[in-house]
Amino acid sequence: MKRRFLSALTALGLVAAVLTTGPAQAAVPSGSAGPHPSHLGASAMAAKAAAAECPPDGCYFYGTAQQSKMSPPVKALSALVTIDDPWMSSCCAYHTLAEMTMQDTISPINNVIEFGWTRDNTGLYPDTKPRLFSSIFVDGVWQGYNVGFVDYEKNTTVDMGQDLTPYLDSERQFSIQYAAATNSTPARWWLWFDKDYVGYFPASKIPGFTGAAAVQLFGEVDAMDDHPCTDMGGNPAALPTSTTYTARFASVTYDDDAPEAKLATVAATPAMYGAVLKSGSTRTLNYGGPSTC
């Protein structure tokens, strides 16, 4: 898989769309998850004709909600997350995913724990099925997908990399939880999916990081050009609104709900992908979209 690079701009949910010259890409993407009308025919051809190429790691697009400057830092983040199978260009996209993060700062990137699901086109999970993934940043340096993660052996029903196809179109609980050292057990950052712990990152992998002053929840598309032709969140026909959604993070909570979740949205490419809080809520994010074609 292409190494995932998050600049200060992408950490804020902005699109990293620095354009460079590179090898020519195929003119029209073909779908790897079945036909989708918005990605076929003249509109797709016109979008690709207008596309400009991206850096080697691609252009990143987001539909994001975040909360920062929390004091004291929170020890846990939990949400009900929609499991989707977004339409993805097989020629011109690296991945489409949904994830939550706990971090000490939004910008600059410093210490971060990431957990979510991804459809990958480039080698991590090359069958392109939606699968669990995790990663960490240490002092601003990304460590790689699932690097340092320790499987919870007592849980035999789900592992990192699990195929989530059986959960499609449903909401499942994702959680990141810090557990301080007790007796002979070292401190750990636990990851929870659905009904059990998947495993953990030893706290020693992220020295000094014992709580998050900032959290983010977002959909992400990494594409080879700035007209991605790849869905974020299901197979949406339109952008989400405050009452309808293509995918969502719902019932977001921290610790014992202190401080209360008060998310704010960040959407840098609203014509492609949206990020909207559910009407009357600061705990539920509706996100996603059909891109440019």
> What would the pLDDT profile of 44-77 be if each residue is shown by its tens digit?
666 666 778 899 889 999 999 999 999 999 999 9
User: Which residue range(s) make up the domain with 51?
Assistant: 8-288
Residue 112 exposure: Cα atoms within 13 Å on the Cβ side? 28
Mean pLDDT across the stretch 122-136? Answer: 91
Residue 293 domain-assigned? Answer: no
Residue 139 domain-assigned? Answer: yes
Q: What is the pLDDT, as a whole number, of residue 238?
A: 87
Residue 95 domain-assigned? Answer: yes
Q: Quick one: three-class SS letters along the chain?
A: CCCCCCCHHHHCCCCECCCCCCCCCCCCCCECCCCCHHHCCHHHHHHHHCCCECCCCCEEEEEEEEECCCCCCECEEEEEEECCCCCCECCCEEEEEEEEEEECCCCCCCCEEEEEEEEECCCCCCCCCCEEEEEEEECCEECCCCCCCEECCCCCCCCCCCECHHHCCCEEEEEEEEECCECCECCEEEEEECCEEEEEEEHHHCCCCCCECEEEEEEEEEECECCCCCCECCCCCCCCCCCCCCEEEEEEEECCCCCCCCCEEECCCCCCCEEEECCCCCCCEEEEECCCC
Residue 259 domain-assigned? Answer: yes
Q: Are 236 and 275 in contact (CB under 8 A)?
A: no
- Per-residue pLDDT at 116 exceeds 90: yes
Total of domains in the chain: 1
Q: How far is CA 10 from CA 16, 111, 199, 267, in A?
A: 6, 15, 27, 11
Mean pLDDT across the stretch 158-167? Answer: 96
- Per-residue pLDDT at 6 exceeds 80: no
Residue 1 domain-assigned? Answer: no
CB atoms within 10 A of CB 125: 22
Q: What is the pLDDT, as a whole number, of residue 49?
A: 66
Q: What is the pLDDT, as a whole number, of residue 137?
A: 98
- Per-residue pLDDT at 194 exceeds 60: yes
Residue 89 domain-assigned? Answer: yes
Q: What is the pLDDT, as a whole number, of residue 242?
A: 95
Residue 207 domain-assigned? Answer: yes
Regarding predicted confidence, which is higher, 25 or 95?
Answer: 95
* Residue type for position 58: G
- Per-residue pLDDT at 3 exceeds 90: no
Q: What is the pLDDT, as a whole number, of residue 37?
A: 55
Regarding predicted confidence, which is higher, 43 or 88?
Answer: 88
Q: What is the pLDDT, as a whole number, of residue 124?
A: 87
Residue 2 domain-assigned? Answer: no
> What order do you get walking across the sheet with 150-151 strand by strand?
150-151, 196-202, 188-193, 171-179, 76-82, 247-254, 285-288, 274-277
Q: How far apart are CA 63 and CA 210, in angstroms?
A: 27
Here the CATH number for the domain that contains residue 113 is 2.60.120.200
> Of all residues in the chain, what percent carry a pLDDT higher than 90?
65
CB atoms within 10 A of CB 34: 8
Query: 199 has which bridge partners?
Result: 151, 191
Residues in the chain: 293
What's the pTM value of the predicted model, to 2 decimals? 0.86
- Per-residue pLDDT at 142 exceeds 80: yes
Residue labelled with tokens 């073909």 = 30
Q: What is the pLDDT, as a whole number, of residue 167?
A: 96
